[in-house]
Structure 1
Amino acid sequence: MASAFVVGGKFRNKVTELLENTDSCLPKRLRGELEEILGEPEPRTLSFSTARTLKQYLQDKGHPFYLHELLEDGSLHLPEVVKPPRNPELVARLERIKAKLANEEYSRITRNVNTQEICRKGTLADFGREVRSVKAVVATVFNFLVTVVAAFACSYMGSQYLFTDTGARVIAAVIAASVVGLAELYVLVRTMEGELGEP
């Protein structure tokens, strides 16, 4: 907390003028304090108590300048805060708490990681599950292709009774195969959504 002012050139000039003035009857104690301040090396500091005494003197004697004018180019003197040394027991305890919190955080982050699954290459059960999954996908794709090709073939063969032109028969077969393919895709997507929606 501030307890003094750092004074500037204006204060030095005015106080020097005040001290040299022979008809000024400064109290001996105040004169000694002011001379001591002027004798200090830079930065010169003026304590609050000396500032109050000087202000009272200037007020009582009716001098043409005031204390705030003297301190106009000065500033507050803020002493350097000296930090007390830290308690070694407290520092050790804080380090233990930090390490404990870091371990808890690490455990929370890695609680769903199974190191046994990472280390082993995979069991037969895992391999069987993957084979079943691949078999299901291959069967679904094969079923889709067979259905679309069969729809095309049936439409092509069946359209011979309606159209005599080959181009018209192919267009009719492509349209029928597209409709069947879209219906098959719709059913497939709905089935996959149902499987993914299960917990």
Structure 2
Amino acid sequence: MDVTALVLTFGAIFVVELPDKTFLATLVLATKYRPILVWLGVSAAFAVQTTVAVLLGHAASFLPETLVRTVVLVMFLAGAVILIREGRSHQQDSGEEYAEAAKAATGWRAVLASFLVLFAAEWGDLSQLLTISLVAKYEAPVSVFIGALAALMVVSGLAVVAGRTLLRFVSLHVLHYVGAAVCLLLAALTFVELVR
């Protein structure tokens, strides 16, 4: 178990996902359904998507090291640019467009509705791309899987428990900038490794 990769992955994914549509969609779903059912559904979706990202990142680790590091560097820089642009736009989506896909449901239907909404919304998401990059960079798929899934589950837990309160104290655009700074730091570390 690579503790450094686990902690770094958790921190990076947590900071990137907090201002993301994931948080907002989960928050809105939790206003429609029992919060624990929403959390179970979105956590299951995250488990599937994190598994796919880790497998793709692990497959990438078989490529030449210089190529992998270059692609990882570009992905971190792209992530920083995306987060800066989102932060500058100051768009605070309500998340309703994701939750509207789910109709009134209870019990396991609420879990399934939450799963499907987040499963559809998260493909190609920044956190998935970062997970692929971190697996390729650290070659520690289990550690990255645990860190990424834990971060996603904590963010969704915050959304269902204290989402509206949190948004009163911290602006989404500030969180975008913090996420961009994390991506730039990871890009800088990757660049240093690349030029060595």
TM-score, normalised to structure 2, is 0.25
More helix per residue: 1 or 2? 2
TM-score, normalised to structure 1, is 0.25
Q: Say which one has the larger Rg.
A: 1
Q: Which has the higher contact order (CA 8 A, sep 6+)?
A: 2
More strand per residue: 1 or 2? 1
